[in-house]
Structure 1
Amino acid sequence: MNAFVSLSEPSAAQDPALPGSDVLRRLTETIAQGASERDQQRIHPYEAVGLLRQARYGALRLPREHAGGGATLRQLLGSVLELAAADSNVAHVLRNHFSFVERFVLPAPGQAPSRWLDAVAQGAIFGVAAGELSTAAVGDGSLDTTVVPDPAGGWRLNGIKFYSTGSLYADYVAVRASLPDGHAATAVVPVDRAGVRLDDDWFGMGQRLTGTGTTRLTDVHLTGDELLLDRDGHDYRIPYSSAIAQLFLTTVNAGILRAVQHEAVALVKRRGDRNFAHGLAARPEDDPVLQQEIGEIASAAFAAEATVLAAADALDRVAESRQRGAHDRELALQGALAASKAKVVVDSLTLRAATQLFDVGGASAATQRYNLDRHWRNARTLASHNPASLKARLLGQYEVHGTPLPTGGFF
């Protein structure tokens, strides 16, 4: 296991590790150390996530007056892209945290700060347990997990969740559940609460270390303020409110593409004087064909980053509108369109580049010691979240007929 450097302990007056800061640069470089080894040997990145917690990375989106970084979504996702280039598993761990912050933590106009804002400001990380394997239509909102009143006060939570990404490393887990009256709610509980069990049973071919396993909830007690009712404004049915979560995954894929670019350059240099017999130069790094491959990969990385940031700008406009107390449906639709188009383009670019990487290195690049296949495996796994073919069809339907995109279902 690689050694991690120590960063100074955060204080209430110290900013989070801001995008572009030396602190964040050093943090990202540290997390990059041993990323391949962790992936190959399934070594969980507890220390890496601990460094992010210590640096209060999860507070980047909080307003400065609430001890946050005051980052825009463009700044946040630019930072996430860099983190994903260092270790896509670690970046993915934070997807549900920042989704929780957007939906439940950022203070609305005239609204008192929640207890969760203070927790995030102090460095706490939140995971989410929403999906259930018993649901036939993924993301349709139906829930077998239940929360019922506790005669002694508060509530009791029971259920089984899968795809609990990030919860294995989190301080709190946000659980979607159904109330006796049929309405939905989000229960927010500490992961060490009695009755909460996090199973490390995610064995995907890629993104192996995201903690995307099963959360089992057995008669978990909730206090009154740990249950957030949809009808109190925390409604998952707000049109297109999941676009940020979708763009986050696309950003991680763009980060993988940047990592592929770096790997391609290192790979061709590592080959020294050993080139194919029919190569066009004695040294691989001077071979115009290999140079072209790397140029195409670098161009794809540039395009992916530009696409993600353009979509982030669209979602920033939506966020700014909501912070003013408005819910502009057309603006939200435009943000969802931008996020969807970004996925269709970036997933394709990343998967193609992850394959081109082996054209740069030849057969020796396929040896397990380099673990270069992790980039394709990780990108393919991320791209499998809501397949791009479904996105593309509905984008085409919008262009031809003006049909709005689906408003929910984590579209």
Structure 2
Amino acid sequence: MKTGDESTAASRGKLVRQTSEEDEMNLRIVGLGLAAAGIIALGGVALAQNVPEQFVVSGKAAEQIQDFTTINLATAERIAEVCEKAAAAEGVQISIMVLDNDGNHVYMDRMDGQGYLNIVTADMKARTALLGREPSKNRMNRVTQDPTQEFQQIQLGYFPNSGGLPIVVNKQLIGAVGVGGSAPRVPVWSDEICARKALVEVIGPSVPPLVQDLPPRQNPNPGNAPVPRFVAATPPKSSLPAEFVVGGKGAGNVFDGNQISLAAARKIARVCRDWAASKGGTMSLYVIDNAGEFVHMERMDGQVFNNIRTALLKAQTALKTRQPTSIRAAQLRNDPGGLPRSSMFFDFFAVSGGIPIVVDGQMIGAVGVGGGAGGGDENCAIEGLRATFAEHVTLPVYPAAAGSGRAN
């Protein structure tokens, strides 16, 4: 018969064994959990690395936006450059838009002489390719085969026209490209052919071939209304240096000799980009012409929707008000009572970073910068404008005593 002490000792021994077994089991569970987490993490890294870094946002910028599969600025810019070079060789002008896999603008160019429809349809085609994960021509072909589908396609947000292609690398969608503005001469040339040529040169031969072109549907009841021509006898002329504005045939196409040229817009952007990088920052930038249409756009890696959208709003506000957005920003800081009216009635975005582009007293467009740029959005825009137009450009001037009041 066991004494009380022996019973207590036996119970303690049993408890110790149970505790030890439970601890061992818990350690095994934790170990398995850590192993599983490691496998998942490695799988995530493998997935993130499935697309070569040369094509997508990587490193700290990718960590910041929590996405290792979105097209980077360098790739988007290269696609645009190749397509524009091909268009120039064909003697045509195009507009091109590159979107990331979230539908944000990454890079955009409109060649000189392009108008509203050319510019906006490039964006619509890219967005259609992104939404459908297929060439926008597929939507066009469905409408060609069954015209009753067109209304449904439009309701769903698609633009059933060729010229938009998804950008896919190693079976991973990283963005989409849309091209607009040129008349097709299939099989030699079309907006879609331009886009694919660029993708093949930049991404490689894995880019799939173009889908079949279906013959256009014949109109069963063609009308006989005469269609007038509307062509200026002579193209408009500008007193500004030729490198600053659209000239020649391009100016004649849009009946305007004082629209900022693509070359000037690109220079503004590249100087601003380099300046932001030198400050350890990034930026998003839009240059719009004096009609409010896109001329050039780019977002540096790591920028998100808020940065991109505010850059556009700043450019549009600067164009509408004919003033730097920093003026209204300062006025509203001094008297906040005007903010609701400015925002709701007039749709102004009163944050520093937007400047009308005024050259030798003539407004030719506007620039908007968002995202901080490492040293202030307005400062970045000023650097780009000064480098592009030198003494010809009008820039904001601050009173010396109010230097600390700048909003960037």
Relative to the length of structure 1, the TM-score reads: 0.26
Task: Select the structure with the greater relative contact order (CA < 8 A; seq sep ≥ 6).
Answer: 1
Relative to the length of structure 2, the TM-score reads: 0.26
